[in-house]
Chains A and B, each alone.
Chain A
Amino acid sequence: MKRWPALACIALAGPAQAAIVFTPHVSEYAVLPRGTYLDTTVAHASIDRIWDADGRKVALGNTAIPPGEAIDATLLLGRYLWIGNLFEDSGLPFLADHDQVLRVIGTAGRQSASGAINDLSRDFGQTSRGTGLGDVFLLAGVYGQQYHHGPLHGNGLYTLTVKAPVGSFRRDSLLNPGTRYWSVMPQLSHHQDWFGRLSIEATAALQINSAASRTAYGGLTPSKPASVFNLEANFAWKFSARWYAETGISHYRSLGSNRYDEVSLNRADQPVPPTAACTTLLVPADQCGLLDVFYLAPVPGSYRDRGIRNNIVTAGFSYVYRSSAVASLRAALPVAGRGSQFMVPYHVCASTPCNADSELPAARQTARLSGVQEAAAISASPYFELRLVFLLFAP
């Protein structure tokens, strides 16, 4: 028998594209030669596990979906980078002698879910597919002072990124390449080089999110995503002029809670037969026997989760081709995390519309819902990343 009231177990995931966008590579924050760079990154994850609100790894859909089901997400990032100095003839302090960085990042995603996940979404009148262009990120920054102390030398990079929520977005979709909230991300980054062999990139970023103009998947994307703090470091060892190996760590956590003001996720096929209602919704026996059908509806309100967090370790290598192209292959493994989950009470009613006026006495049920998409769901599955960088000016 299909267990439709897996209401309490809607625990799915979308790729956290922001984390992929900013996880640094070799010399990501180093002072690079002026010029134009293009790079493209393909990240792929087969997500079959996520972190729940208690930091446990749980299967997608929890018990509502049989083992082996997964969401396949492929994210494509195209980045244009310009390094130069717009102010070099201006005489402006600091800016005149520190190069600037401008970057435009376009994203696209192809995401699909396996059969049982699609079925589950359909039960709630939703879809599980999301393919299209994602949001656009615009970054501007300036390099800090270069310094040299004995065997180490380095520099800072101070940037501000704005995410424009222009990606494709469907209100009924579990997986959207785009979002519907703006983000502003001040970021402090640092590059350090030790003995000409070990390259360290470190960054701290704050992602300040606006309220979402729309939510998706029955209101399971936050209507007010929490701001997010991101701390990352990458260590690369230079074996030769062509080969690098690298490993990194990433810590990503929300500052406060995500807020959900538009929760409307509900079973598409209503009314609910009494057998299911009585056994799973624990409708009192006297009411079960009296009624033929039951209706469900989430209690309107503003719900909050306990915030999200994610710790990832990465490992990979890079190869420099012709001095004008760099190929990097990297695997990322989440090692700890916490996803967005929150409790939502549901009216259980004998008639429609189902609301406080029509609900059955003592029959209200509370479901544990999981937030979805990048501001809420935290994948516990590894992902793989292939990155190609092109220096347009190099030989």
Chain B
Amino acid sequence: MKCAAGLALLLGLAACATVGDRAPRPHERAFPDGFQPPLSKATGQPVYGWGGRWQPPASADKDSPSRTPILFIHGNTEDATYWEDARRWFLDAGWNDDELWAPSYGWASTDRFDVNDLAAPTLDAFVDEVQRYLSRKSGRPIRQFDIVAHSLGVTAVRQWLTQSNRWHQVRSFVAVAGANHGVWTARPDARGPSRASSFELHRGSPWLAQLNAGGEVAGAMRTMTLYDGTGRYDALFPSGYEDSPALAGAVNVAFNREARGWDGGYNHLELPRQPATLAVIADFLRAGHEPLPNATAPTLVRDGNILRAVPADARLHCTGQGRYPDAASTPRVTVTLPAGAWLTCYAHSAVSGLSSPMARLAASGSPPDPAPPQLTASPEPGPYAQPVNLRLRASVPDALIVYSTTSGEPDSGSALYRGPIHLPAPVQLTAIAITPDGRRSAPLRLRYDISLAYDEALHSLQRQLDPDAPLPDRDRP
């Protein structure tokens, strides 16, 4: 590296340090050549962040990554540099550059808070790109990731998994101090730049109810939560909220309560960045089954109303009533689909460590009407000042409605429409209806701009003086 001698002298800096020694910076795309950072849904710009062998010399190791890569997902108003301590710790612990990635999915500013519904599609695109890059680099498919998320990153990841039906691509998920059941500082009547995340994450919010409705863990993904638990150290989860980050069905570690005792505890920002907690996280990740590199992922095969898994060593995990099956669900070789009810299933191979995507299926009878179902929505798409409860209606009564707010087309395993969808933040949503015999409606693409700007425009001084002053365009696509 060329040394900026004058500047270094002037500022007394270590400006001559090699690039390889330095940490990624907040507004830096510290990614290797050939990696195309996706656009952030929040900022409209390519995401900042770090990952891969971004520092020269480029990695020439064709076998890298040799273990499941970790994605670090930061919390509200933070950015990827939040994970610098974790990055160094994992490098020291044996992970290599190709196995560590972190996007900055938002604004990293308290002037513009992050929002789960905007973070989810950004994460979806980022995972796609890491997968594409690493698969091309290593010459073999990279099918699974580990995820370590913090705070709003936890709920953003859970929303991404729900919306994208990519549970099978996450081997282990460590959720640190996430507001899974609400956070003390969020309020349903919030105002200002934090209002969207506040609408999402206040206790009892419809958004969280949607997120948790199908079960708090799903698929073969191993899940661990790590949080304060004392109500004292993490200011976001005081008494009454101390177990909000726990997830039913996960390995829940109230770290300060269980492990620290009189040794004190770590606060909200410290929890995922301390050697003691990083060791717990790493142990959990190491205990995961490393997927066989060239194995075929299981699939669900339907013969009439009989469901089985391929390959033969794979087993089915199914549940009814709209709940997600998880690793604790009874594994079966075959399942007979019941009439008049939907099952949610995935196939998992203990040998390969791989799973199929989630799918919802029902026994099919003779269709009374072979035409595809129709799907309608209300209220109409457009800008709204306040959160919207979106109602979807299928023309076929026993049709299943699924939707996705990530970029992909929904499939039967995507988020299930259980009632009006609470939209507290800007979303682009695609919904389809599926009948028990497999007929699908045309995708219904909807864009709702639940906009602070719109709210402010409604209440501007100009509109107080002139009620006919123009508002943002309701008809924009």
Contact = CB atoms under 8 A, between A and B. Distances in A.
Contacts of B136: none
B348 interface: no
Contacts of B184: 241, 323
Contacts of A148: 264, 266, 270, 274
B110 A33 contact: yes
A393 B232 contact: no
Nearest to A33: B110
B232 A395 contact: no
Interface in B232-278: 232-233, 235, 238-239, 256, 262-267, 270, 274
A393 B233 contact: no
Contacts of A54: none
Contacts of B186: 395
A2 interface: no
A153 B264 contact: yes
Contact of A88 (B26, B77, B233, B256): B26
A33 B270 contact: no
Q: Give the contact-size bracket for chain A.
A: 20 to 34
Nearest to B112: A393
A394 interface: yes
Contacts, number: 91
Nearest to B198: A395
A96 B26 CA distance: 10
A36 B194 CA distance: 13
Contact of B232 (A33, A35, A195, A322): A195
Contacts of B190: 395
Interface residues of B, number: 43
B35 to A, nearest CB: 20
A395 B235 CA distance: 15
B15 interface: yes
A29 to B, nearest CB: 15
Contacts of B111: 35-36, 393
Interface string B260-303: 00111111001000100000000000000000000000000000
A241 B194 contact: no
Interface in A271-311: none
Interface string B193-231: 111001000000000000000000000000000000010
Given A240-B239, A395-B185, A395-B191, A89 B110 contact: no
B14 A34 contact: no
Nearest to B108: A34
B274 A395 contact: no
Interface in A10-32: none
Given A148-B266, A241-B184, A323-B185, A394 B27 contact: no
A394 B22 CA distance: 33
Interface in B39-77: 77
Interface string B13-30: 111000000110111100
Given A35-B110, A151-B264, A241 B235 contact: yes
A252 B239 CA distance: 39
Interface of A: 33-36, 85, 88-89, 91-93, 96-97, 146, 148, 150-153, 193-197, 238, 240-241, 322-323, 392-395
11 contacts: A34-B109, A36-B110, A88-B25, A89-B26, A96-B25, A97-B84, A151-B264, A195-B264, A393-B110, A394-B185, A395-B191
